[in-house]
Structure 1
Amino acid sequence: MSHPTPDTVAKMRRAHKVLAEFRYEPAELERGYANRSLRIDISANRIEVRPVTQQMKDLWIGGKGFDLWLMFQEIDKDTKWDSPNNPICMSSGPLGGTMSFPGSGKTLVTSISPTTRNIMDCNVGGYFGPYMKFAGFDALAITGKASQDVLIFIDAKENRITIEEAPLESADSHLAAEEFTEMYALDELDKRNVAVVCAGRAAEHTRLGVLNFSFYDWRRKVARLKQAGRGGIGTVFRNKRLKALVIRGKPLAPTWRVAESKVAMRPAGGACACSQDMKASVRKIAEKWGQDPDYVIEMLQDLQDQDRHISQAAIDALSLETGVSRGQLYHIATFYKAFSLTPRGEKVIQVCVGTACHVKGAAQIVSAFERALGIKQGGTTKDGKFTLEAVACLGCCSLAPVAKVGEEIYGNLQTKDAPRIIRAEGARRG
């Protein structure tokens, strides 16, 4: 994907007309709270700061709670998904932006869904939530409906918020994210401080539109996207004629650079303490993907399929083949559920323990498989045939409780089904 040229970005920027401007005082975080929220009305072009009360913190704690509180301040019994007073609420709870808790980079997004016509919420990764928190806001609510395509720009560096006309930027999210990142970053290093929220043109023609949250990948030098994918929140976003919501966070101090990171450096040629067979096996897989670092996930998937796990020796060899640091490869291998650093069975039994399955007895189903296999959840049988895993969702809520073995889905399970499934899968070739 080509980056927009400086002339193109400058032309887009000149076409912007500022419809509203608001300046605010910075706020210090206290026990995880900035103690204020932001309300932006794009019908009236009005921006205001509202307090986060102790009642909100006591009764509506967390990102989801704050979103619901803000929703209830805006909607009434007649509010529909495309009503101007249907707000898009975004928030980050008291752990948002903290480095010591996993998942603290998430943003909770809430609105009335076009698909269910009820309140929905969705969480999404990226940097927007922490940047909003560091800008001095625990949450924001966008309400109203613009008469033309507009963007909202939150500049935490200058403590300034604007609503601007945005007539020329691309309708597709992957292009718009690049354009706005180039537009609002002061230089190459500042691009990592910019996060763009936008929905593509598909959201204008379906009720299932997703909302894309960008983060700047300094390795690939491109704005990558995370999705708030539930409920059609992107459709609500575009229905309001929002082109984008852009935030420029406060710069990191001191600024971190790749050249200063020993982890990011390519390992020395003799750093791989693995067998020649392992090197040859990994080289064959790497060459299949052109030894291109952009395809390390696919390479790791091939290693997982081949060896049923990803060993330290394989990671060392792959690091040498691609130039991707071992630390980064370990990060990928431990982030994705599809990968395992310890050998898995020939078949993996995944039992869903998500909300729909949980209320229908998923815990008892997991226990039934544990008894039948003689292992605990997360373990592998001694003969190497089965691994048992509990997973957050299998996408089959209507069949709850549900389990998956390979590509086979087993729904409406009872505890007595576990031995039968194990016998059937044991007799079935993988």
Structure 2
Amino acid sequence: MSENTGAVTGASILLDEVTKQYPGQIKPAVGGLTLEIPAGSIVMFVGPSGCGKTTTLKMINRLIEPTGGKIVINGEDVTKMDGDTLRRRIGYVIQAGGLFPHMTVAANIAIVPKMLGWNKAKIAARVDELLELVSLDPAIYRDRYPKELSGGQQQRVGVARALAADPPVLLMDEPFGAVDPITRQRLQDELLNIQSEVQKTIVMVTHDFDEAVKLGDWIAVFDEGAQLVQYDSPERILANPANEFVENFIGSGAGLKQLTLTKVHEVELMDAVTAQPGELASDVLSRIQGAGASHAVILDSRSRPVRRLNRRQLSRLQLIDDTIDESMPVVGDRATLNDALDTMLVASSESAVVTGRRDVFRGVINVKTIMEAIAQANAMAEAAAGDAPVGLNSGAIPALAVANAVAAEASQSRDNLEQPVSAEEPR
């Protein structure tokens, strides 16, 4: 689950009995959905294909017009607003970034600010600021074209473009679905890093429940017709799925998914001997031996790890050069323990280098640390989760209300109280 550290700049969103009925269809694509999305949170929409989660997402910025109900953003009913004006106030990210291939990276990011009449100097400064935010060097990337970028780099530019006009709301439609697993992990980590700084309200559609657990403050599990089956924290959904549908959607290995509940920055990292290119290898080797360490982490001028050298490798060198080791096991501090363990297994290593914002070196994590953290994760998870926001369809009592009623009934039974329990409709 994401951790918020900066000032909240996001907006609250309320879907108030929102319906989408397509002509010729008996059942609505979205049926009377009421959903409260807190400001500054990440809310994940998950569910099987065709369940209405993307339709719901697109109704927030009215790419799809709702048939009924209201959509309220920061107290304003946006269903009465001009659609183009609304969309300029909401960031939107799709697979592969949706970049215009004939425009440079800078031009892609500048689209909405230009529409809003920003001057050239302000736009140029904003482009560079956002490229730094998504960990792309402006001097290298601002004048490149999308075809010159990897899939992961294109997606980072897509996020930068969505944030260009500093919108309070960011909508993301399976943004990481078209990249390989390693790149996806890094993009997820980067999104969490960005969110820790900008504190937008992010609503994301995904088919990947693991991704929902990793990124979401809250997860909305939908069935056909955008029927909200459960809306709660990742911790409680894993520990107490509302029904068999949710259990089946979570799939096997729910216990293993608990690994995604703890982030790398939440555990104690180990220190490491560090060095920089140009140092004598013998000096670095002496520091390693004095510290009783097995490796030295080589950092560039911006404190970013570029290589890891063991004692044998150092003994064969005279000077530390600036070689970059692409195979070095590196994990972001916003990654989950599951990500860290995967990184170590792929690299056949008992430890991994940890980086923070701007890829700055933070420390080292090892398998022992992960195993110790797992032993504590489950108990802490339940205690850390707050009350879930409101979420229900017309005429339905949400899972949280039912769970609260059942818990109250059980408590009364234990106390031998005979009065019945009523589950009141939430606000």
| TMscore range, shorter length | under 0.3
Structure richer in helix, relative to its length: 2
> Larger RCO: Structure 1 or Structure 2 (Cα < 8 Å, ≥ 6 residues apart)?
2
TM-score by length of 2: 0.25
TM-score by length of 1: 0.25
